[in-house]
Structure 1
Amino acid sequence: MYSHVDGELVAAEDATVSVRDRGFQYGDAAVETLRAYGGQVFAWAAHAKRLQATCNALGIDHGLSERDLRGRVHATLAANDLTDARVRLTVSRGTHSGSLTPDGDADPTVVVVTDPLPRGGVDGERVWSEPATAVTAAVERVADDALPSVAKTHNYLNGVLARIDAGDADEAVLLDADGRVTGGAASNVFFVDDDTLHTPSLDLPVNPGITRWAVLELADDLGVPVEEGHYRPRDLRSADEVFLTNTTWEVRPVAAYDDTTYTTCKVGARLARALAEEVEARHY
């Protein structure tokens, strides 16, 4: 396997970054997880826009064009002979002297790592083997004014601690300081009540997931009513169905949330099928 490190393809065993890299030392780095189908990245423009938003929030100027970044991603896929894969693209502030305050002349570190995934689309295979279980985490979501939710960074401690708290459950659902649902540790949350699709709105500390965006677009195409708002765990518990979205899982139904179980995911299944058809049309 090969990784792409600072402009060069490097064998996995030789792919390293400095121990003084700020992404390693402080989590001072932007990250995007992408999905490749049929050799091409899904929704590249949306991912590139979110990566730039993270870099802007952190004040990281990597100086690379979208074309260059995309070229590095595709070069890594080609080097590993992968057409269907999970891709992790990271941009750290680079190596500094050790002060918490960033140096003004940093040289960012850019890394691309890939892992094989099954074929996607209509004839593809799901990454997950069964519906998810989820629980409400005792860990609170970091407030937006402490760490902007638009920023996807190397610092995943909030999610890591929530997943630890969740124990054997597949996902932890985090609440904000006012007890409102924000999403999963690594996913966006949707629920259906009276045939209307609901998801936490982006004025909360909610990560603007790319699959979240795609599902909302598809719901509009299918005529599924959508409401974005502020919800409590009781809203999920009283819902007809709940599902999670992220780049790797795509659309994953929830079988149990806390002490509530769900026996159907009809709207989620329609949206999962529509997403598979979109991927099939675009990439295969």
Structure 2
Amino acid sequence: MSEKTELLYHVDGDLVPASEATVSVDDRGFRYGDAAFETLRAYGGTIFAWGRHVDRLERTCEALSLEHGLSTDDLRERIDATLAANDLADAYVRLSITRGVQPGKLTPQPEVDPTVVVYVKPLPRGGLEGERVWDEPATVRTVETRRMPDEAIPAGAKTHNYLNGILARAELRNRDEPADEALMRDLEGHVAEGATSNLFFVRDGTLHTPTADGPVLPGITRALVLELAAEGGISVREDRCDLEDVLAADEAFLTNRTWELRPVATLDGREIGGGPVTERLSRLYDERIEDACYR
């Protein structure tokens, strides 16, 4: 698509220009963050790990008691139609399902007429011949904002309620030294995750990542990295990690669907960087993308 062409979004069954894409102010996704979403990537016209995203979306909707009544095929058709309308093969894709418009009361009603929105934007090619969406390894700083405990808000639910991450990123903005990502800890002080990313680090050849038994959203890219590490014979430990463990790491990187694997340049000003394990996993990830989406 041309850079000057306005993107089209899919809103409740209709393709509309981005500047005209709206939802009601009475929509519960707007009023309360009462909505589920997934961030996906299209590579060469293929939605990577579609089945995993569908499974997580269903788990989120179950956590919200949101019975939207939409089929997987219906959701996929809306995504495919949006990509086709924008002539996009490599793209960021966000799928949102809200509980829709209901009376202005906190208690959700069982009858749901969901609002469904598909938002897209172009991204570079991925895989072995692709390019990263980031220019440099990430600068990361810890923040005082703690990750919400699972007992308060289910950590595995990917909802529109992103206040926790917003507060963490706002802390970064209010500091003198800029950073790309905020690293949050749980209420006990253990390292949890970034505002929009999962954390990995390497010590003595072993790959570590905070356990998903804590307040961690187990990302799909995170799961794939763990699989690639196991297949590649890399020792892995999912455990409770202290900040000192990460600061003493030989390598560290962040994962999310858009960044894929992004090395950590510094944490709280201390240099860490990537290394052989990070590079190997990045290569294995690119190979998986290439095989699944471009060949």
Which TM-score band (shorter chain)? Answer: over 0.9
TM superposition outliers: structure 1 runs of 4+ over 3 Å = none
* 2:252 pairs with 1:252: no
Unaligned runs of 5+ in 2: 1-6
Q: 2:99 aligns with which of 93, 96, 101?
A: 93
* 2-structure distance, mates of 1:134, 1:13: 34
Letter of the 2:163 counterpart: L
Given the two structures, how large is their TM-score scaled by the length of structure 1?
0.98
How big is the shift at 1:269?
1.1
Check the 8 A contact 1:33/1:88 in 2, yes or no.
Answer: yes
- For the structure 1 residues 264 and 150, does the alpha-carbon distance in structure 2 shift closer, same or farther, using more than 3 Å as the test? closer
Letter of the 1:232 counterpart: D
Q: 2:78 aligns with which of 67, 72, 82?
A: 72
* 2:203 pairs with 1:193: yes
* 2-structure distance, mates of 1:30, 1:21: 13
In structure 2, what is the equivalent of residue 205 of structure 1?
A: 215
Cα deviation 1:249-277 (Å, max 9, x = unaligned): 00000010013112442211111111111
How big is the shift at 1:157?
1.0
* 2:163 pairs with 1:157: yes
* 2-structure distance, mates of 1:169, 1:210: 24
Q: 2:47 aligns with which of 41, 46, 53?
A: 41
Letter of the 1:57 counterpart: A
* 1-structure distance, mates of 2:48, 2:263: 21
How big is the shift at 1:197?
0.2
Paired residues, number = 284
How big is the shift at 1:51?
0.5
Check the 8 A contact 2:190/2:242 in 1, yes or no.
Answer: yes
Check the 8 A contact 2:252/2:273 in 1, yes or no.
Answer: no
Matches within 5 A, 1:123-162: 123-162=129-168
Check the 8 A contact 2:200/2:208 in 1, yes or no.
Answer: yes
* 2-structure distance, mates of 1:250, 1:104: 37
Letter of the 1:116 counterpart: P
Secondary structure of the equivalent of 1:272?
helix
* 2:220 pairs with 1:216: no
% same residue: 57
Letter of the 1:222 counterpart: G
In structure 2, what is the equivalent of residue 114 of structure 1?
A: 120
* 2:60 pairs with 1:54: yes
How big is the shift at 1:208?
1.1
How big is the shift at 1:206?
0.5
In structure 1, what is the equivalent of residue 281 of structure 2?
A: 271
Superposition CA RMSD, Å = 0.9
Letter of the 2:249 counterpart: A
Check the 8 A contact 1:256/1:262 in 2, yes or no.
Answer: yes
Unaligned runs of 5+ in 1: none
How big is the shift at 1:85?
0.5
* 2-structure distance, mates of 1:196, 1:78: 43
In structure 2, what is the equivalent of residue 226 of structure 1?
A: 236
* 2-structure distance, mates of 1:160, 1:12: 24
Letter of the 2:252 counterpart: V
In structure 1, what is the equivalent of residue 246 of structure 2?
A: 236
In structure 2, what is the equivalent of residue 4 of structure 1?
A: 10
Check the 8 A contact 1:40/1:74 in 2, yes or no.
Answer: no
Secondary structure of the equivalent of 2:292?
helix
Letter of the 1:177 counterpart: L
Check the 8 A contact 1:243/1:265 in 2, yes or no.
Answer: no
